[in-house]
Amino acid sequence: MPLNHLIALQDISAEQINEILELAKVFKEVNERRVKKVPTLKGKTVANFFFENSTRTKTSFEIAAKRLSADVLNLAISTSSVAKGETLIDTIRTIEAMQIDMVVIRHSVSGVPQMLTHNIKSHIINAGDGMHEHPTQGLLDMFTILDKKKKIEGLTVALIGDIAHSRVARSNIWGLKKMGATVRVVGPPTLIPRDIEKLGVEVYNDLEKGIKGADVVNVLRIQLERMKKHLFPTIREYAMLFGVNTTKLKAAKNDCLVLHPGPLNRGIEISPNVADGPQSVIEEQVTNGVAVRMAVLYLLGGGKANEIIG
Amino acid sequence: MKLLVKNGTVIDPVNKMEEKSDILIDGGKIAKVGKSITDSSAKILDAKGMYVFPGFIDMHVHFREPGFEYKETIESGSRAAARGGFTTVACMPNTDPAIDNQAMVEFINMKSKQVGLIDVKAIGTITKGRAGQELSPIGELYKAGAVAISDDGSTVMNAEIVRRAMQYCKMFGIALIEHCEDINLAGDSTANEGYYGTMLGLKGIPACAEESIAARDIMIARDTHGKLHLAHLSTRGSVELVKWAKKQGINVTAEVTPHHFSLDDSCLVSYDTNYKMNPPLRSKDDVAALKEALKDGTIDVIATDHAPHAELDKDVEWNQAAYGIIGLETAFPLIITELVIPGVLTLPEAIKKITINPARILNLERGTLDEGRDADIVIADINKEVEITEEFFGSRSSNSPFIGKKLKGSIENVIKSGKIVYGSK
């Protein structure tokens, strides 16, 4: 089934995930060339709508689109256009009227990309919606795991930290489960959302038990303002109970990979030793992110996987 | 003018009546109920194959006037009510300004008379400006015609104010209607806390946000012997509390909305903001508990919480979208389709919850077909299918998740004080 939008990994099949990851391999190779550009999206226009601050995701999408020769429009829209009385749908329709082909959207409210599918004609890529999903992050995490481990099926992946508010966690859970991994979520009960186990994950409130025997540890960023909502008492205590450091990491397998979607709070959820250590693949995640996003843009732009893959 | 409703099956729960009968209306009153009435001077309404009920009473609507006339007015709301079979409604005081003084109650009553379709009663606020700080002039509101008090839309978080209000209301015999939602527990959440909220990344309002306030108010009612009514209950825990309270003899009644017994939180997967309500749509288990509570009498009343919103309030990001849906026109078809046909309630049991039970809570002398009463009557065909479309609504708004659905139960004629206010003349 051709991909029309990419809203959530919940919506797509293991075959579709595989196809994207296979394509991303090809684009990763393109990114290592001296001339890092292919003409596949020449004449297409991609609009990046970022209603929430982002450096790495926005840059990554921009580079990905440019390397495919698309024209890229970057719109960092604060709530000011809403203050002017224009609705979100009107804002996006206005830009769409200038004949764009793809919309990449990040928004602080869950469900916004899905809502747009009913209101605009362009292909939509969700670059993170509220606490819902961040599908390209889930894909690049899986690409990175696959790159290092040569498989996903049968691996045990532990997601550590603020599961409740994390779109990265949800995309990881859907994607990894579809690809046959065992997924654990680890954090204090205040940051584990109700009924998460019904998504097929194991729940741990103890870091060492949660990462015991894990093949991959994906450490999530902790938003410091969560303290004000009484979700944990102090940063010190969070770091003490859930901060991943070299000692705690010993509970995992020796060759356990450490992922983090960034930006890092060094010394809080992850110690500098681990972030920069031999098991860390955090920088490679960023590199791989461009290739994965190229694969997604390529497919949504009407490209066929079999024209590229060997 | 005389009207004669002939050949219908009359359901009047208070009088335990459930039989083929005719009703003669004269001078706006019910003149006679009986078999084979003839009156050559009366205009005849043939109700053959249909049911005849007392006019429905909705004790929980939002008519938005004054302040939000772009969503609904007393006129458009009255039209919606008549369309749905409701001849009396009580509107909540979260208008702008709020219904917190005599002049506002009089305004609502005056507008209702001017429109002249149905009876729109006012519910006054518990606290001035619904701010939860100081008591409203409850005596003044009552004397002007307010039928209950409520800060609906918000919970009165200060338990001392609730206790004093409940004590004070005893002078007038009116109910305090609580919107049960602890604001700290609910926070800025927008969905039920549970599997679907977690999956969709929507912050959850836990069941205990409702239940803790229900429990608090039940204990205050026990203490004060005041009259407490709990609005739009949505969780299993809440109905368990009410059941316990009733066993203790505490003076508490409760209502549920048609959408809370018809829909559950799995509907949210579409992120369609017409499924965004407060209280939120709950789990399937909660819906089952509400149905049990309707059956065993724990829930006394079905009230719509008719909450009109314009497209610009709803066609926005989920978090920004307004809470609530319109409900007056879809209430009866949902009661028939979701409760009566599946056997949750018998037809008379269901009719009680939209006639005599709310009438008693609001101290209204209506909800029956006694001779001498105002002739408020509904004629309905419960086997006829209705298709819910935007055109189906009399309301100024059409924020309903039931658009596109086909339901059983059609309102054919509505008579208010002897005048046909909906249906064929």
Residue A244 has a pLDDT of 98
Between chain A and chain B, the number of residue pairs with CB atoms below 8 A apart is 66
What is the nearest CA distance from B215 to chain A, expressed in angstroms?
Answer: 23
Name the residue facing B317 among A112, A194, A195 (closest C-beta): A112
CATH fold of B55-361, please?
TIM Barrel (3.20.20)
pLDDT at A2: 75
Q: What is the pLDDT of residue A225?
A: 76
pLDDT tens-digit map of B95-131: 999 999 999 999 999 999 999 999 999 999 999 999 9
Asked if B202's CB is within 8 angstroms of A129's CB, the reply is no
What's the pLDDT at A1? 61
Residue B97: cis peptide before it, omega within 30 degrees of 0: yes
Cα–Cα distance, A302 to B5 (Å, whole number): 66
**Which residue is associated with the tokens 């356990």?**
A256
Using an 8 Å CB-CB cutoff, list residues of chain A that contact chain B: 10, 87-89, 107-112, 114-115, 129-133, 167, 170, 193-196, 198-199, 229
Q: DSSP E strands: which ranges in B137-263?
A: 148-150, 175-178, 191-192, 204-205, 228-230, 252-256
Residue of B nearest to A195 (CA): B195
CA-closest candidate to residue A110, choices B269, B74, B81, B381: B269
Q: Report domain extents, chain B.
A: 3-51+374-423, 55-361
Nearest to B194 among A111, A114, A194 (CB): A194
Residue B201 is nearest to which of A88, A89, A130, comparing CB atoms? A130
Report ipTM for this prediction: 0.93
* Best of B208, B265, B318 to mutate (most A CBs within 10 Å, chain A): B318
Contact between chains at B271 and A115 (C-beta distance less than 8 A): yes
Instruction: Quote the tokens at residue B15.
Output: 């009088």
* pLDDT mean across residues, chain B: 97
Q: Cα(B26)–Cα(A9) distance, rounded to whole angstroms?
A: 67
In this prediction, residues B164-181 reach a mean pLDDT of 98
CA-closest candidate to residue A45, choices A3, A85, A104: A104
pLDDT at B425: 57
| Pairing between β-strand B43-46 and β-strand B3-12 as defined by DSSP bridges | parallel
Instruction: Please tell me which residue of chain A has the smallest CA distance to B193.
Output: A194
**Residue B168, both tokens:** 């004070």
Check: CB of residue A7 under 8 Å from CB of residue A126.
yes
Provide the whole-model pTM: 0.95
What type of residue sits at position A200? G
Is A10 within 8 Å of B316 when comparing Cβ atoms?
no
- Torsion from C-alpha of A114, A115, A120, A123, nearest 10 degrees: -10
Under a CB-based contact definition with an 8 Å cutoff, are residues B341 and B334 in contact? no
pLDDT at A81: 55
CB contact (8 A) between residue A115 and residue B312: no
Strand B3-12, strand B17-26: pairing: antiparallel
Identify which of A87, A109, A133 has the shortest CB distance to residue B318.
Answer: A109
B347, two tokens: 């037809």
CA distance B263 to A172: 30
Residue A182 is which amino acid? T
Please tell me the distance from the alpha carbon of residue B148 to that of residue B389, in angstroms, as a whole number: 34
| Six-digit token string for B102 | 């005599």
Cross-chain CB nearest to B204 (options A132, A133, A194): A194
Is the sign of the CA dihedral A40, A44, A49, A54 positive or negative?
Answer: positive
CA-to-CA distance for A212 and B77, rounded, in angstroms? 62
Helices (H), A133-279: 135-149, 167-178, 207-211, 235-242, 246-249, 272-275
**Structural contact between residues A122 and A103, judged by C-beta atoms closer than 8 angstroms:** yes
Answer whether residue B1 shows pLDDT above 90. Answer: no
Tell me whether residues B202 and A170 touch, CB distance under 8 A.
no
pLDDT at A84: 66
From A125's Cα to the closest Cα of chain B, the distance in A is: 17
Question: Which CATH number is B3-51+374-423's, of 3.90.25.10, 2.30.40.10, 2.60.120.10, 3.20.20.100?
Answer: 2.30.40.10
Chain A residues lying within 8 Å of B320, measured CB to CB = 109
Strand runs (DSSP E) across B242-294, as ranges? 252-256
DSSP A144-178: HHHHHHS--TT-EEEEES--TT-HHHHHHHHHHHH
Residue B275 DSSP class: G
Interface touch A196/B204, C-beta < 8 Å = no
Report, as residue numbers or ranges, the catalytic residues of B: 305
- Domains defined along chain A, listed by start: 9-133+287-307 (3.40.50.1370), 135-285 (3.40.50.1370)
Distance between CA B77 and CA A14 in Å, rounded?
51
**What does the block give as tokens for B157?**
């978080």
B43 forms beta bridges with B3
Nearest chain B residue to A194, by CA: B194
Contact A132 B201 (CB under 8 A): yes
Nearest to B412 by CA among B47, B88, B18, B79: B47
Q: Does residue A125 sit in helix, strand or coil?
A: strand
Q: Which portions of chain A are predicted below pLDDT 70?
A: 1, 79-84, 310
- List of residues 6+ apart from B28 with CB closer than 8 A: B374, B375, B417, B418, B419
Token pair belonging to B86 = 């409701």
Asked if residue B279 has a cis previous peptide bond (ω within 30° of 0), the answer is yes
Question: pLDDT over 90 for what percent of chain B?
Answer: 99
Chain A contact set for B193 (CB, 8 A)? 194
User: Is residue B26 pLDDT above 90, yes or no?
Assistant: yes
CB-based contact A114 B271, cutoff 8 Å: yes
SS3 letters across B355-419: CHHHHHHCCCCCCCCCCCCECCEEEEEEEEEEECCHHHCCCCCCCCCCCCCEEEEEEEEEEECCE
Please list every residue in chain B whose beta carbon sits closer than 8 Å to the beta carbon of residue A129.
201
* pLDDT tens, position by position, B206-240: 999 999 999 999 999 999 999 999 999 999 999 99
Q: Using a CB-CB distance cutoff of 8 angstroms, which residues of chain A are in contact with residue B194?
A: 194-195
Q: What are phi and psi of B185, to 5 degrees?
A: -70, -35
Residue to substitute from A115, A162, A230, interface B, most B β-carbons within 10 A: A115
Q: What is the CA radius of gyration of chain A?
A: 19
Nearest chain B CA: its distance from A131 CA (Å): 4
Amino acid at site A91: T
Question: Which residues are within 8 A (CB) of B65 and not within 5 positions of it... i.e. 6 or more apart?
Answer: B72, B73, B74, B77, B95, B108, B111
- Sheet arrangement for strand B148-150: B148-150, B175-178, B228-230, B252-256, B301-302
Nearby residues of B103 by Cβ (< 8 Å), 6 or more positions away: none
